Amino acid sequence: MQMSVKIFSGTGSQYLAEKIAQKFGATLGKITISKFSDGEIQPVFQESIRGDMVFLVQSTFAPAENLLELLLMIDAARRASAYKVVAVIPYYGYARQDRKDKPRVAIGSKLVANMLVAAGADRVITMDLHAPQIQGYFDIPVDHLDSSAIFIPYIQQLQLENLTFAAPDVGSANRIREIASYFNAEMVICDKHRKRANEIASMVVIGDVTDRDVVLIDDICDTGGTLAKAAGLLKEKGARSVRALCTHPVLSGNAYSNLENSVLEEIVVCDTIPMKQKISKVKILSVAELFAVAIRNAYENRSITGLFIHSQRRNS
């Protein structure tokens, strides 16, 4: 007898899980996630999942309860005799803590990987990790989806005349170089220096943007300070227009006002994290179809290579 696919959602990603299930051609599975009076979380599957391939959709953005909820869901699925348990994590929190960049700090992304494996996940499907090498922290398969499959078609329909791509920092250069190569476009780098987390001390532009339509691309937009400062600097250097494409809209602190008051033409984000409020400059693109296809390919043991278009040449 062929195993069934069942998709369930944590409370933090219900809005996205419903769209993923719809694109997949299924309805969300029944699960109750209740809390004791002290806040202790208890997930309960309200239908049998014995022998099924179970996909649990939950981004692990703040607060930490989203991560704990996912871990408990994984454990519950294992104990309910699911055949395979796949953690679908559109936004993988703690990814910025991927190394010891100073003494006596945690490597949070490795710790989270350990917890997911210890809880019983058989596979992880995620998108735009802050550092791709985080995949190596897992001892289980990781399907690492790329937002370029969503952003490239959007950029194409803009039909920008003098397209130039900008990396908001040196660490993003490889990601931006691949997309710039796809469009046969130029790229520049905004080199920043921080005094402390979320505070930029200085920034310089490496490259020429005079009369160019510049597209900034980043994986995370947290306070919006980097994007706002980079956009302002690019305009000062002669850019004709500046817009930003950012996968994960963390948007904490003064992010909404920083972006709204910036010189950016628009900020395009994905729906991996729910936005707390709407601002006129922000456009949201959905990752639901991309994850639905990834889920189907995982279920059918098919390759996900076809979901990546950033390495393909534009005119090939």
Catalytic-labelled residue, pool 6, 19, 35, 192: 192
Catalytic status, residue 192: yes
d(Cα 299, Cα 281) in Å, to the nearest integer?
A: 38
Place of tokens 């690019």: 234
Q: What is the DSSP letter of 132?
A: G
d(Cα 170, Cα 193) in Å, to the nearest integer?
A: 10
Give which of 242, 200, 203 is closest to 222, Cα–Cα. 200
Q: Are the beta carbons of 241 and 213 closer than 8 angstroms?
A: yes
Q: What is the DSSP letter of 135?
A: G
Q: Which helix (H) or strand (E) holds 85?
A: strand 84-89
Give which of 39, 51, 115, 135 is closest to 85, Cα–Cα. 51
Q: In the numeric block, which tokens belong to residue 117?
A: 């494996």
Looking at beta carbons, which pairs linking 199-208 to residues 24 or more positions away fall under 8 Å? 199/225, 200/225, 200/226, 200/229, 203/229, 203/230, 203/233, 204/233, 205/166, 205/233, 205/234, 205/237, 207/164, 208/237
Q: What share of the chain is helix, strand, coil (3-state, %, to 5)?
A: 35, 25, 40
Q: Are the beta carbons of 143 and 123 closer than 8 angstroms?
A: yes
d(Cα 27, Cα 13) in Å, to the nearest integer?
A: 15
d(Cα 169, Cα 90) in Å, to the nearest integer?
A: 23
d(Cα 244, Cα 166) in Å, to the nearest integer?
A: 9
CA-only gyration radius of the chain, Å = 20
- The 3-state DSSP class for residue 125 equals strand
Q: ∠ CA 282-57-80 to the nearest 5 degrees? A: 170
Catalytically active residues are 192
